[in-house]
Amino acid sequence: MSKLLLSIIVLIFFGSCNESDRLAQTEPEIISPIVDINIRDSEYNFERNAYFGDVHVHSMYSYDAFIFGGIASPDEAYEFAKGGSVRHPAGFDMQLDSPMDFYAVSDHAYYLGIVKEMASGDSDLSQHPVAEGLDNLGDDLNFRRSVFLRFADFANAGNGGEIMDDTVVKNAWDDIVASANRHNDPGRFTAFIAYEYTGTGPEEEMLHRNVIFRDGIAPELPFSRINSDDPQDLWSWMDSNRANGIESLAIPHNSNVSDGLMFALTDYAGRPLDSAYASQRVRNEPLVEITQVKGTSETNPALSPNDELAGFEILPFKIGGTIPIKPEGSYVRKALLDGIKLESEKGFNPFSFGVIGSSDNHNATAVGNEDNFYGVSGLLDSDGQKRGSLPINSSENDSNVYFDRYTRFGASGLAGVWAEENTRESIYDSMRRKETFGTSGPRLKVRFFAGHDLPSVNDAELIAKSYSDGVAMGGNLIVEDAQPISFIAWAAKDPNSAPLQRLQIIKGWVDAGEAHEKIYDVACADRLQVDSITHRCPSNGASVDLADCSIASGVGAAELKTRWEDPDYDATQHAFYYVRAIENPTCRWSTWDAIRAGVAPRDDVPATIQERGWSSPIWINPE
């Protein structure tokens, strides 16, 4: 009987195949030539537009997002980015004020789709001991945390491969790829195919990277930490994909919690860096994520004691505990300095990267602004009590340390690019040439050029001339015949956020074998002048009323723009320069939470912050 049924199914199956073959051979009717007019967007711009996006969000296919309650699919994530709303696992809707220009769902490749399968399937996979409790995660957040840690430990112990069922991973990956391709809408919205490579050091240091693909094609399966924890193996995989026509780049993130490994001066195996390592790294990693919810990675007060603004959204501990991290090798600015030092001594620079921001939100959404922050870890930090923005009654539970970690998370991370138009090719290529900037959330814009003969800031053709006579952010300027150089630094505020307070240029250089850094304020709001000795703007007196978070009006600038020359310039030195644009102070998300709850903000976290944007550096190389 069952054989008969099988034969019927086989017959139907083959019948269908023959049918489809026959249809495929039918000549389609010739359709009229496509008129090449795009009246929706006549915005192709040789001088390039600023586009904003987030290339680091997690959907239900990420094991941790799923365990935290995340059930939004990649499709829902892209719909959100285009302006739609997504339901938070705690039941409220999340929506952006303005849609994103570009977006990438970047789920963890290890356990991709596995935990979701374990929770829903009646397969062998769900019988695995590690899957226990997944089918009934429930309301006990401590239980969810313990399940999350169980999976993390399982991979850290080297057992992850046991449950990496290729078929399940492939199903999830196919869905992610198809979703990005479906939502990509050239000229209107760019959806990148992406995933997160979650490589980890021997002591669980985070060596995480997001891999972003340029086009609509992707490898059969993503390369994950189950394949290797050594980033060089990831780069070799990317190199071989590239040889086969699949172009991608990797963006390291959370260097701040890598405990010194992300920008270590040795490779994963502990060998000193060499030029082959540098060229492979630079080829595959043109950018670094400078800020995201789990802290900002620009620099740390311990590394930059003379930078008054260095202590911005610092996450001082390793993830999931209270072990302090080692600052050296964990922060962007120090890595840029180490890079030019290596360049001047050995002729190669493994850390010649540009910067970008993104969120790492595990709710499939980007982060909201400070005033509508809804957490990033599903049910675990969905309200002020859970994310520790409200005073904690320490007798209630024993998880305060964990809550405190959320308190230190920032509502941060936005990617900015300068591109001709909103297409995959144009935006990806801007990432390749590092004409990118990162912000701590607001859509503020930063432009930066260097050259030997740049025009005045009032020149009507400022941008055109800066491109033709100089280099844009992310570029290298070769100094010939000790010619003087100048910079154009320019920032515009987010129309929906606070005004700008000042514009800074951060310089790093090598002198007599030693790397140095210096901060120059180069433009001040409110007609204030930079002090020529301290290189600082006087205070503009911008204040925040902590009773309701309102900010003083009439203080600050919509734009700051200047042509700057370095008073300490030495044409024989290797150097880099980047711009930091600083907003007036505003309430931090934790203060907004407290005000809404009618309680005083916690006094052990900053009540206000100064949102900011960072340009990619420009490198100055002596001839």
Partner 1 sequence: MIKLLRQPLLWFAIAGFLLFVIDARIVTDRKQIIVTTAQQQRLATLWETQTGAMASPKELSSLISNWIQEEILYREALRLGLDEQDSIVRRRLIQKLGFIAESDSEELVDVAVLRSFYQQQIDDYTLPVRYSFRQLYFRLESDAVATLSKIEGGGLINELGESSMLNAEYSYRSALDINATFGANFADRFPKLHLNAWEGPLSSGFGFHLIQIVSVHEAEITPYNIVQNQVIMDYQRYQQEASRDKYTEELTDQYIVVIESE
* Interface segment toward partner 1; rule CB under 8 A; list 66-74, 320-328, 371-379, 554-562: 554-562
Q: Which is nearer to partner 1, 41 or 274 (CB)?
A: 41
Candidate residues 17, 149, 464, 478; the one interacting with partner 1 per rule CB under 8 A = 17
Q: Does 3 bind partner 1 (CB under 8 A)?
A: no
Which of 7, 10, 83, 322 is close enough to bind partner 1 by CB under 8 A? 83
Residue 38 as a binder of partner 1 (CB under 8 A): the answer is yes
The first and second tokens of residue 224, run together, are 């994950």
Instruction: Give the three-state DSSP class for 525.
Output: coil
Amino acid at 271: R
Spell out a b/e string for 564-600, using b for 16 or more CB atoms within 10 Å of the CB, else e: bebeebeeebbbbbbbbbbbbbbbbbbbbbbbeeeee
Minimum CB separation of residue 83 from partner 1 in Å reads 8
CA distance 211 to 196: 6
Asked whether position 494 contacts partner 1 by CB under 8 A, the answer is yes
Q: Which of 6, 7, 10, 19 binds partner 1 (CB under 8 A)?
A: 19
Return d(Cα 243, Cα 235) in angstroms, integer.
12
Residues 6+ positions from 163 with CB-CB distance below 8 Å: 111, 114, 118, 125, 128, 130, 131, 154
Contacting residue, 24, 269, 512, 547, with partner 1 by CB under 8 A: 24
When the beta carbons of 6 and 600 are compared against partner 1, the nearer one is: 6
Stretch that binds partner 1, among 194-202, 303-311, 341-349, 487-495 (CB under 8 A): 487-495
Dihedral over Cα of 12, 13, 14, 20: its sign: positive
β-sheet bridge partners, residue 185: 189
Q: In the 8-state DSSP scheme, what is residue 160? A: G
Contact flag: residue 1 with partner 1 (CB under 8 A): no
As to burial, measured by CB atoms within 10 angstroms (0-12 exposed, 13-18 middle, 19+ buried), residue 450 is buried
As measured in angstroms, the least distance from the Cβ of 24 to partner 1 is 5
Question: Distance (Å, rounded) from C-alpha 294 to C-alpha 419?
Answer: 28
Kindly tell me which residue out of 135, 239, 453, 565 binds partner 1, with binding defined by CB under 8 A: 239
- Indicate the DSSP class of residue 454: P
How many Å apart are CA 297 and CA 314, to the nearest integer? 8
**Residue 41, CA distances (Å) to 170, 259, 422 in order:** 36, 46, 10
Least distance (Å) from partner 1 to the CB of residue 511?
35
Selected from 35, 157, 269, 547, the binder of partner 1 by CB under 8 A is 35
Q: Considering the rule CB under 8 A, would residue 165 count as an interface residue with partner 1?
A: yes
Our CB check for partner 1 shows the closer of 17 and 149 to be 17
Residue (8 or 482) nearer to partner 1, CB = 8
Give yes or no for residue 396 binding partner 1 (CB under 8 A): no
Residues in region 39-58 near partner 1 by CB under 8 A: 39-43
| For partner 1, the closer CB: 97 or 274 | 97
Residues 98, 529, 534, 550: which binds partner 1 (CB under 8 A)? 98
Parallel, antiparallel, or unpaired for β 618-622 and 575-583? Answer: antiparallel
Between 26 and 306, CB nearer to partner 1: 26
Using the minimum distance from each CB to partner 1, give the nearer residue, 98 or 279: 98
Taking contact as CB under 8 A, which single stretch among the options 162-170, 207-215, 263-271, 381-389 is the one that binds partner 1? 162-170
Report the alpha-carbon distance of residue 180 to residue 460 in Å, rounded: 40
Site for partner 1 in 438-457 (CB under 8 A): 445, 447, 457
| Minimal distance, residue 561 CB to partner 1, in Å | 8
562 forms part of the interface with partner 1 (CB under 8 A): no
Residue matched to tokens 């495929």? 24
Smallest gap from residue 12 Cβ to partner 1 (A): 6
Q: Shortest approach of partner 1 to residue 437 CB, angstroms?
A: 13
Distance in angstroms (rounded) separating the CA atoms of residues 543 and 501: 11
Q: Which of residues 279-338 bind partner 1 (CB under 8 A)?
A: none
- Using DSSP's 3-state secondary structure scheme, residue 607 falls into coil
- Rounded Cα distance between 145 and 217, Å, is 36
Q: Is 121 in the site for partner 1 (CB under 8 A)?
A: yes
Determine if 495 is a binding residue for partner 1 (CB under 8 A): yes
The distance of closest approach from Cβ of residue 40 to partner 1 in the complex, given in angstroms and rounded to an integer, is: 7
Region of 113 on the Ramachandran plot (φ > 0 left; ψ -120 to 50 alpha; else beta): left
d(C-alpha 175, C-alpha 168), whole Å = 11
**Structural contact between residues 313 and 291, judged by C-beta atoms closer than 8 angstroms:** yes
490 binds partner 1 (CB under 8 A): yes
Q: How far is the CB of 150 from partner 1 (least distance, A)?
A: 20
The reply to whether 264 sits near partner 1 by the rule CB under 8 A is no
Q: Would you count residue 276 as binding partner 1 (CB under 8 A)?
A: no
Ordered DSSP codes for 199-256: -B-TT--B--EEEEESSS---SS---TTT-S-HHHHHHHHHHHHHTT--EEEEE--GG
Burial of 140 (0-12, 13-18, 19+ CB in 10 A): exposed
The amino acid sitting at 309 is L
* Contact pick of 241, 258, 369, 486 for partner 1 (by CB under 8 A): 241
When the beta carbons of 140 and 461 are compared against partner 1, the nearer one is 461
Stretch binding partner 1 (CB under 8 A), from 56-64, 207-215, 237-245, 268-276? 237-245
Kindly tell me which residue out of 198, 497, 504, 586 binds partner 1, with binding defined by CB under 8 A.
497
Interface with partner 1, residue 34, by CB under 8 A: yes
The owner of tokens 């249809």 is 23
Q: Which stretch binds partner 1 (CB under 8 A): 136-144, 204-212, 240-248, 614-622?
A: 240-248
Residue among 83 and 321 whose Cβ is closer to partner 1: 83
Instruction: Check binding of 550 to partner 1 (CB under 8 A).
Output: no
Q: Which is nearer to partner 1, 124 or 603 (CB)?
A: 124
Distance CA 43, CA 60 (A): 35
> What's the rounded Cα separation, in Å, for the pair 201 and 108?
16
Nearest alpha carbon to residue 286 among 473, 432, 415: 432
Find the shortest distance in angstroms from Cβ 28 to partner 1: 5
**Footprint of partner 1 (CB under 8 A):** 8, 12-13, 16-17, 19-20, 23-24, 26, 28-29, 31-32, 34-35, 37-43, 83, 97-99, 117, 121-125, 165, 167-168, 170-171, 182, 219, 236-237, 239-241, 243-244, 445, 447, 457-458, 490, 492-497, 558-559, 561
